[in-house]
Amino acid sequence: MRIAGAVRVAVAAAACGVLLTSCGSGGDDSTRTTKNDGGAGQAKGGGSAQQNPADLKSIPDVGHRWQSKIPKDSRQVVAVYGDGEDSAKSTVVLFTKSNSADATWEKTRSWPAHNGKKGWTTDHRENDKRSPVGVFTLTDAGGVLADPGAKFPYTKSDSMQAPHYWPRTHWHDFDYVIAIDYNRAKGTPPNDPTRPQGQAKGGSIWLHMDHGSGTSGCVSLSKTGMEHLLRTLDPKQHPVVVMGDRANLKA
């Protein structure tokens, strides 16, 4: 259920401290890479996970372990293919499926991206600087900037602003955010501090804007990529993110 805007903003402001220690933590990057502009996303069939569209009965390069966790009613999948278990580089690919009974997955867009600066893990813990491997629902969005036309409930709040003692390159990380439902309460602003599995399991894992290097556990991509996802992902289509390094995803 959509929470009234004023309530969502108030909760977001209260949760800001938890957010900034979990997702951003931008000041300790040890490696810099060229910032991805991402453009409007690569054309269909380009980038990673290439496969004949006629064969897309399942999400490419995702093994049965994770494929089986994609809900049957999901018609939108954001696949995050990490370059390696210890790599901060990845590729985000958007797959969609029509509502027809015999529909197959179609690759619609892809963007270069980053993940946790230390790579990936199947047992994410608070401050381990790795992104969690798995399949997670997507239900809530927000950011410092005004709603760009998101289909998700969207919380605009200055409380999501990255602190300015972080490097300037990180100041706009949270202009747009899509919460990944890892250890969080669905139906709340992205920076709500509730962690149903406890603090030690970490949280505040988001899709957000890229600053050109690894994150503290989130997945980051270009502003145009975030805008496209916000305007495209639809709760009625039960979107999920399938994320991990390539080896773990194929398991």
Question: For domain 65-250, which CATH number applies: 3.40.50.2300, 2.40.440.10, 3.30.200.20, 3.40.50.800?
Answer: 2.40.440.10
Average pLDDT over residues 209-222: 98
Average pLDDT over residues 120-142: 98
Is the pLDDT at 61 greater than 80? The verdict is: yes
Radius of gyration of the chain (CA): 17
Residues linked to residue 101 through DSSP beta bridges, in sequence order: none
Question: pLDDT tens across 62-105, in order?
Answer: 999 999 999 999 999 999 999 999 999 999 999 999 887 778 99
Residues linked to residue 74 through DSSP beta bridges, in sequence order: none
**Domain residue spans of the chain:** 65-250
Is the pLDDT at 30 greater than 70? The verdict is: no
Structure-block tokens of residue 11: 């909760």
CA atoms within 13 A on the CB side of 71: 15
**pLDDT at residue 81 in the model:** 98
Q: Could you give the CA distance from residue 78 to residue 109 in angstroms, rounded to a whole number?
A: 10
Question: pLDDT tens across 157-185, in order?
Answer: 999 999 999 999 999 999 999 999 999 99
Question: pLDDT tens across 140-159, in order?
Answer: 999 999 999 999 999 999 99
Residues, the chain: 251
| Contact criterion met (CB below 8 Å) for 26 and 173 | yes
**pLDDT at residue 140 in the model:** 98
**pLDDT at residue 251 in the model:** 87
Q: Could you give the CA distance from residue 96 to residue 104 in angstroms, rounded to a whole number?
A: 8
